Structure 1
Amino acid sequence: MGQEASARLIRAFIDAFNQSDWSAMARLVDEEVVFDTGEGERLIGREAFHTFFVTRSRYFRERMADAEIFTGQNDTRGAAEVTLRGEYLETVSGLPEARGQSYALSAGLFFDIDAGCFSRVSLAYDRPALAALLSSG
């Protein structure tokens, strides 16, 4: 797959996220994808991956901005640094009450790429920082 193709795959993931097209995102991952949610949970499988984003969209309206995409020399790994911009729609347990707060938070995405799709996706962001932003917003 070359570095350019890996970068295009990551860009397609970000574009699908920004369009809230969870089905398109799911088509980019392996049937047995390993997904680290950024919330301390690891999910296995395309269906669990899809369900996570469908559920999350009830609570947050988000898009990834300012994306910087990186690919490894062996084309099997990639990453993206993004600003997660969103609106908090419905209260999540462990977070402040939702009042339509807007937020911008740095986040990272890490990918393992195998046979033209993602076999692992890890989302990393500072959940306490998100809680603080939602408390002050």
Structure 2
Amino acid sequence: MSDVISRYFEAFHAGDIDGMLACLTDDIAHHVNEGKIRVGQEKFAEFCAHMARCYKEQLTDMVVFVNDDQTRAAAEFIVKGTYLETDEGLPEAKGQTYRLPAGSFFDLRDGKIARVTTYYNLSDWIAQVSAA
């Protein structure tokens, strides 16, 4: 596994936004699932703060793939989470738990992450939190 990918996910699990930012290029391109592309560390930090307020998540069953020249990587995992605070346009949060397969794709440059794109099935997530 690429060192920077390992550090990025370790920081994620620790809730360490600054640790995550240290793994990113200044011009990070963050492709949000079913959302707009956010460019720059400031936008990434805002997104992380929003996520921490609305969701508590741990990633399990992680498998990471890195190409030979360490310029691209991918990770597949299971998101185990709790919906803490209602997110705009989504069902009401009542502490529902969810389990969701997801994946992230990365561009790597100069030992840092230059792009992160994360995908998951939003319809599956909505069904899980709506049924709880």
Smaller-chain TM-score bracket? over 0.9
Alignment of 1:11 with 2:6, yes or no, is: yes
Identity of aligned residues (%): 35
Paired with 1:23 and 1:123, the residues of 2 have a C-alpha distance of 19
Structure 1 segments of 4+ aligned residues over 2 angstroms from their partners: none
Residue segments in structure 1 that go unaligned for 5+ positions in a row: none
The corresponding residue for 1:21 is 16
Q: CA deviation at 1:65?
A: 1.1
Superposed displacement of residue 38, structure 1: 1.1
TM-score for the superposition, normalised by structure 2:
0.95
Give how far 1:64 is off.
Answer: 1.1
Describe the superposition over 1:23-45 as per-residue Cα deviations: whole angstroms up to 9, x where unpaired.
10011000001000113221000
Which deviations, in whole Å up to 9, do the C-alpha atoms of 1:75-108 show, x marking residues without a partner? 1000100111110001112221111001110110
Residue 55, structure 1, aligned to residue 55, structure 2 = no
- The answer as to 2:105 corresponding to 1:104 is no
Specify the SS of the correspondent of 2:10.
helix
CA distance in 2, matches of 1:62, 1:41: 22
Q: C-alpha displacement at 1:74, in angstroms?
A: 2.2
SS at match of 2:62: strand
CA RMSD of aligned residues (A): 1.0
Question: Partners of 1:132 and 1:11 in 2: how far apart?
Answer: 31
Name the amino acid aligned to 1:38.
N
> More displaced, 112-121 or 88-97?
88-97
SS at match of 1:73: coil
1:40 equivalenced with 2:35 (yes/no): yes
- Per the normalisation by structure 1, the TM-score is 0.92
Instruction: Name the residue aligned to 1:121.
Output: 116
Kindly state the Cα deviation for residue 22 of structure 1 after the two structures are TM-superposed.
Answer: 0.8
Q: Give unmatched runs, 5+ long, in structure 2.
A: none
Task: Give 1:72 shift.
Answer: 1.0
* Cα distance between partner residues in 2 of 1:67 and 1:55: 24
How many residues end up aligned between the 2 structures? 132
Partner Cα separation in structure 2 for residue 65 and residue 129 of structure 1: 18
